[in-house]
A and B are shown apart, each in its own frame.
Chain A
């Protein structure tokens, strides 16, 4: 018996951070739709016995019914091949208007939100247990009420939960691994956490992860899991990639780099490795330059130039599309190479610590954050990124120092 475990489709969710990608990536039906279509195509091609979708089909704040129509149309493809689908709702789609009004084809069963429900597929020798969310924030341990396994069948539990929390996601339907094990099911198909893979080293408790990465927070391969199970035997779980583009964090070690050429030469293999890992898909990469280098100030002071130069390297390295989402200069100056001898740096290091300086800067940060969060909303990534605090202030001060040195001609632009 084989089934496809999917979760966190977040259909029509936007790509974040691609300021410079142009319209190429935004043409076509949209990458989350393409990813779902690929997953359905895979299920048909491999003739799986069932498809399980473990919550968060849509973004919470997204109300375009077209998204639902598309979702239903994809599930109808499975109906034509008589492949059943079991769905539970998660924190994002539990209260969605789309969820409430969308009529799904008759091969789809949405599990109840009132109480745990069990579906038995006798011809498959399969029992599926699960419960949808009734509202966005479910704070009780749903697993406590899940039914006992049915002997002689493969028992699969569907659960949308962050388990114990601590992964950067809101903790809903909290539970513990021991609770899951106590149920005695053959496999736990989990949703909510966007990273794919087993939990706590248990091969039969797995998150399918988000079907398609949408920002640099969701790097690497994404898709779902193909599960082959027999009663009483540990299931075989194979990851299957359905994503149509990838995100990557590319670290470039610039330790000891003495020239811009050094930096660019080191960037190339790092970018090529990321391109190789994307296996022919378009790639959006955030490049982080790291390590102690004498170029630290120069790189920091010429951010735009750094970005352009690396774009050149990226263009040369990539055959499919490759966008630099951002280039961050996280280098440090070499030990003992501070500008201690310069009057300016003595004055600046004293100035940077003055209450007048930090006060003025904090005011600037607050003004900016107020404006940005007013326009984009407080939950927006950019609002979050610009949230005032010591870390942000420190980073802005470092950038400001570098920029000032450049403006004063103490940090020359690199030779053309």
Chain B
């Protein structure tokens, strides 16, 4: 980053902390209008530094690493597809996957946050799915928290030279689950239960989301492995350009 870009990023962090510190209280997509305004602003503010950093990273990719643009576009398109598919699950209700694992593995969590928020805005405006007021909270869970966990898991696998495909699978699957866990926490904070407070409430929401999501997380992991295998076969140069090299033999 240039010094100017660094400054912008620092300012954005400051901006975020001011908003967050100002708060007293402490779904996949949380529905429009279902979070109190103060929390909407707080979650939105938390996202800003990540989005700014992601934006700068993306700018850098466009100017310095044009070869990577193709798979950046594919990672974005992958989120588009995956998050539009509502899939039946063992609990008798439907949910959808996040698709952010691929971007996180290839480009890191900040760049992925930009891809994620694009999809969330599309869904909030056109599909009345998620929402503009809850955009901040949803961005945090789907486009920041999930990708960060995916990225972390993949890095661990890389560091210890473990099977890459297992790493991709776990990164995508657990990132997907974490998204829903964070959503449960966000809803729990917004709606503490009468007896037991926030933690009871968080568990209640987890009870709604988690069982539905587990099979879908596995599906997401498998699909992400498929995409990565395909890219390995047909996009070697691009993968090299983003530093996605083979640790281990698999």
Are A and B associated in one complex?
no
Residues of A near any B CB (own CB < 8 A): none
